[in-house]
Chains A and B, each alone.
Chain A
C-alpha cells in the first residue's frame, strides 16, 4: 500500500505541472486584463501598472518567472488586492472552507449512511421509500435554492438562527453546514442503499446469520464493511468537490472561504490568484482521491490482497 502511495504522489507532480502550465497560458488567452476598469486608466498609468507587476515582459518570461516562484513556494502578489500575497489569501480562506466542508461531510455521512442502510434493510417499505424520496429531492434541489429556503424558515420567519456569517454570531454555522451537507447526504444515502443491497444478498451474510449472530451484528460487523465501500470511494472526490465547490454556499451565507476568492479571481482577471487557487485545488483533488482509494483498498480485502 505504501508503494501505491508513493507511486501516486510521484505521478501527481507532472499532473500539477501540467495544470499550472495550461492554466497560465489559458488565462492569458482570455480577453481583458487585471487593470481594465469601468473608469479607464490612462495609457501612462496602465504602463506603470504593467511594469509594477512584470506584465510588460513576454508571456514566456512571465511563465518562467512564475514557475520558478512556484518551485520556491511563492504564488506571487494578488493583482486585485494590492499588498496581499496569494499564499496569504489562500491561508486565510482555507481553514474556513475546510471547517465548512468538515461539518458538511459529517452531516452528509450521518444522514446519508443512516437513511441508506435503513432503506436497504427495510427494502420496499415506507422506511425505504420515504428516505429515498427525500434523497432524490436532496439531489435535485440545488444549494442556491436550499440555502435561501432554510434561511427564510429558520432565519427570517422563526428568527432562531442568523442568516449569514461564519463564527460571528451564535449558531451561524448551522445553516451553511446543513445546506452543503444535504446535497451530499442525498448521494451518500443512495450509494449506501445500493451497496448494502448488493452485500446483503451475498453468501457470507447468510453464513453470519447461520452462525446465529444477531441481525444487528450481521449488519454492523459484516454487511456495512462491504456495503459502504462505494461511499468511501465517493468521499475522496466529494471532499475535494466540497472544498472547491463551496462557492455558492459561501456566497449565500457570506462566508469568507476560499471558494469566493477562486471564482471572483477569474472575473477580476487576477492572474496569480487564479493560478494559485487552481493549483491548490488540483493538489487537493489529487490528494483526497488518493486518500479515498487507499481507504477503499484497506476496507476491501479482495482488492487489498490483489494489490
Chain B
C-alpha cells in the first residue's frame, strides 16, 4: 500500500513539476500584447467561433473579421468612411444611366497561391453564390443584377442571362436592373467576394457547403493575409500574404483571432495583456470605464438600430393610434442615460442618422398626454382598459433592463399591464417568424452604407419585416428612390418613405447602437467605421 501511495504521489506531482517548469519558476511572463508588438502580431478578440470561412456560405460578424483579412472584393470600404476604395478593381466606370459598370481589374492582383486573378474568377464566383443548391444566405446582395434573381430562383438556368460578363482577362462588365447608387458599397460585403475556382472544385462541387477547401493548407483566396492555422474554439492564425497586390502596405505579420464568447473573460484577457482588441464590452462595465476615463475604451458610431416590432396582425395593435400612443410614452433619453449608459443615441427614425449623409427629419415625441388622447380616440378608457401586452425578448440581461423600463413607462403613462416574456434565442426567433408575439425587441445592423439597408426591410414580402405591416405607397416610394440615379433626389424620396414608416409606427425605434470595445494604445490605423469594417492593411502596431 505504501508503494502504491508513493506511485500515486509521483503521478500527482507530474503536472505540478510541469507547471513549475513552464511558468519559469513563478516569475511574470511577457504578455502576448508586448511580444506582439515586437513580432507584428495583432491579438484580436473575435466574439465567437466562426461557422466557417467560405464567404458564400457563412454569415456573421466574427466571420467578417476573418474574411476581410483573407479575401478581397472588387472594392474595399474606405477606413475613413465615404466612398469605397479600389480592391481587386483598380478603377471603374459607370454608364450615364447608372446601370452598367465596367471594372478594370488590377493586373497585379493574385491569389494566395500566386496565380493571377481574372475577370472570369468573379463570373464563376457570382455564379456560385446564385447557385440555389449552395444555400448561400446572401444571394439577394446580387439581385440588383439583371437576371440574377431569375437564375437563383430557377426561372432560368442559363447564367449568360445574368448581368455579369468578362470582357477580357482583366475587364468585368456588370449590368444592373436599375441604377443602384449603393452598388459599389455592396462589393465590400464578403458575400460578393471571389473564391478560387480550382481549389473549390478540387475539394467538392460548386454547390458543396461542406467542402474541405477552407482548411489550412487547402485555402486559397486573395486578401492581404493567408490562413496559417485553425485550432477549433481556440484561435485562428493568419499570416501576411506575399502575393497580395498591395503587400508593401501590409505591416502586420500575423493576426491571431480568439473566439472569446464570454465578455467577462474577454475583458480579463484584455486587462492581462492577452488581447490588443476586444469584440465588445461587458455592458455593466461601460459606465464604469467612462467614469474612470479608461484610455483604452473606444465608443464609435455604428450603423445599427435597437427597436421594438409591433405585430400589426394583432387586433389591438392593428390600430395606428395605439401604436403611436405606445411609441409616444417611451422616454428614449431616459433609456440611454439611465439604462444602457454607454453612449447610445436616442432614435427617432428607423434609419440611423448620418448613414452616408442621410439625416431623416422624423420625430417621435415623448408626450404622455398626447398618447393618452390617442388611446382615448382608439376607444380605450378606464372603463374599457387596454388588454395586457406582452413584450417578447431573447434571454439577455440588457434586453430585460430595457423591457423593464418600457414596462414601467407604459404602465405609468397609459395604465397598460405589461408582461415580459424572455425566451431562448431560437425560440424567440421562431416565435417572431411565425408572428406569435405582440411586441418583440429587435435590432438591425446595416450591411452597406446606405439608408436602403434599413428601409428595404419594411417593404412587403421581406422576410425580416415580421410586423405584418404593408404599405403600397411606402413600397412604391422606396422602389422609385432606388431607380433614380440622383442621390439628392433619392434621399428626398427615402425621407418621405421614412416619414410614412414613422407615421404608421409598425416599429418603435429606441436607440442607435454604438460600438463599445477596448483597444490597446499600441494599435494604430484602427479607425472608427460606421459598418465596423477595418481593413487590416491599414492597421499597424507601434508603442504609444
B261 contact set on A, CB distance < 8 A: 251, 260, 264
- Say whether A140 faces chain B, with CB atoms less than 8 Å apart: no
Cβ–Cβ contact A82 & B210, under 8 A = yes
B24 contact set on A, CB distance < 8 A: 170
Q: With CB as the reference atom, state the residue of chain B lying closest to A41.
A: B137
- Say whether A106 faces chain B, with CB atoms less than 8 Å apart: yes
Cβ–Cβ contact B272 & A163, under 8 A = yes
Task: State which residues 152-172 of A face B: CB under 8 Å.
Answer: 152, 155-156, 159-166, 168-171
Cβ–Cβ contact B258 & A39, under 8 A = no
Cβ–Cβ contact B2 & A220, under 8 A = yes
Task: State which residues 36-56 of A face B: CB under 8 Å.
Answer: 36-45, 48-49, 51-52
- Per-residue 0/1 for B154-190: is the Cβ within 8 Å of any A Cβ (1 yes, 0 no)? 0000000000000000000000000000000000000
The complex places the Cα of A170 from the Cα of B235 at a distance, in Å, of 17
- Say whether A254 faces chain B, with CB atoms less than 8 Å apart: yes
Cβ–Cβ contact B274 & A45, under 8 A = no
B57 contact set on A, CB distance < 8 A: 82
Q: A82-B210, A83-B54 in contact; A37/B137 too (CB < 8 A)?
A: yes
Cβ–Cβ contact B426 & A45, under 8 A = no
Q: A81-B51, A221-B1 in contact; A160/B26 too (CB < 8 A)?
A: yes
Q: Of A31, A89, A107, which is in contact with the most chain B CB atoms at under 10 Å from its CB?
A: A31
Option from B52, B264, B430 in Cβ contact (under 8 Å) with A148? B264
Q: With CB as the reference atom, state the residue of chain A lying closest to B261.
A: A251
B8 contact set on A, CB distance < 8 A: 109
Q: A109-B12, A148-B264 in contact; A52/B133 too (CB < 8 A)?
A: yes
Q: B237 → chain A, closest Cβ, in Å?
A: 11
Cβ–Cβ contact A267 & B262, under 8 A = no
The complex places the Cα of A162 from the Cα of B274 at a distance, in Å, of 8
Cβ–Cβ contact B426 & A155, under 8 A = no
- Say whether A32 faces chain B, with CB atoms less than 8 Å apart: yes
Q: B372 → chain A, closest Cβ, in Å?
A: 35
Q: A99 → chain B, closest Cβ, in Å?
A: 9
- Say whether B427 faces chain A, with CB atoms less than 8 Å apart: yes
- Say whether A193 faces chain B, with CB atoms less than 8 Å apart: no
Cβ–Cβ contact B464 & A52, under 8 A = no
Cβ–Cβ contact B52 & A81, under 8 A = yes
- Say whether B32 faces chain A, with CB atoms less than 8 Å apart: yes
Task: State which residues 1-16 of B face A: CB under 8 Å.
Answer: 1-2, 5, 8, 11-12, 15
B22 contact set on A, CB distance < 8 A: 170-171
Q: B2 → chain A, closest Cβ, in Å?
A: 6
- Per-residue 0/1 for A88-116: is the Cβ within 8 Å of any B Cβ (1 yes, 0 no)? 01001100000000010011011000000
Option from B29, B58, B211, B431 in Cβ contact (under 8 Å) with A162? B29
Cβ–Cβ contact B262 & A106, under 8 A = no
- Per-residue 0/1 for A108-131: is the Cβ within 8 Å of any B Cβ (1 yes, 0 no)? 011000000000000000000000
Q: A188 → chain B, closest Cβ, in Å?
A: 13
Cβ–Cβ contact A92 & B232, under 8 A = yes
- Per-residue 0/1 for A207-235: is the Cβ within 8 Å of any B Cβ (1 yes, 0 no)? 00000000000001100110000000000
Cβ–Cβ contact B262 & A48, under 8 A = no
- Say whether B271 faces chain A, with CB atoms less than 8 Å apart: yes
- Say whether A71 faces chain B, with CB atoms less than 8 Å apart: no
Q: A44-B132, A82-B51, A170-B23 in contact; A253/B426 too (CB < 8 A)?
A: no
B215 contact set on A, CB distance < 8 A: 83
Q: With CB as the reference atom, state the residue of chain B lying closest to A165.
A: B274
Cβ–Cβ contact B15 & A40, under 8 A = no
A151 contact set on B, CB distance < 8 A: 268
Cβ–Cβ contact A251 & B265, under 8 A = yes
Cβ–Cβ contact A31 & B232, under 8 A = no
Option from A52, A152, A221 in Cβ contact (under 8 Å) with B209? A52
Cβ–Cβ contact B135 & A256, under 8 A = no
Q: A49 → chain B, closest Cβ, in Å?
A: 4
The complex places the Cα of A83 from the Cα of B22 at a distance, in Å, of 36
Cβ–Cβ contact A39 & B233, under 8 A = no
Q: B400 → chain A, closest Cβ, in Å?
A: 18
A295 contact set on B, CB distance < 8 A: none
Q: A295 → chain B, closest Cβ, in Å?
A: 13
Q: A82-B57, A221-B2 in contact; A30/B426 too (CB < 8 A)?
A: yes
Q: With CB as the reference atom, state the residue of chain B lying closest to A102.
A: B15
Binding site for A on B (CB under 8 A): 1-2, 5, 8, 11-12, 15, 19, 22-24, 26-29, 32, 49, 51-52, 54, 57-59, 132-137, 139-140, 152-153, 209-212, 214-215, 231-235, 258, 260-262, 264-265, 268-269, 271-272, 274, 424-427, 429-431, 433, 443, 463-464, 466
- A sample of 19 more A-B contacts (CB under 8 A), given A42-B140, A103-B15, is A31-B431, A36-B426, A37-B137, A45-B135, A48-B133, A83-B210, A92-B232, A152-B268, A159-B28, A160-B26, A164-B265, A168-B234, A168-B235, A171-B19, A221-B1, A221-B2, A253-B265, A256-B233, A268-B426
Counting from the closest, the 8 A-B pairs by CB-CB distance are A32-B426, A171-B23, A256-B233, A40-B463, A256-B234, A32-B430, A48-B135, A49-B135
Binding site for B on A (CB under 8 A): 30-33, 36-45, 48-49, 51-52, 77, 80-84, 89, 92-93, 103, 106-107, 109-110, 148, 151-152, 155-156, 159-166, 168-171, 173-174, 177, 220-221, 224-225, 251-254, 256-257, 260-261, 264, 267-269
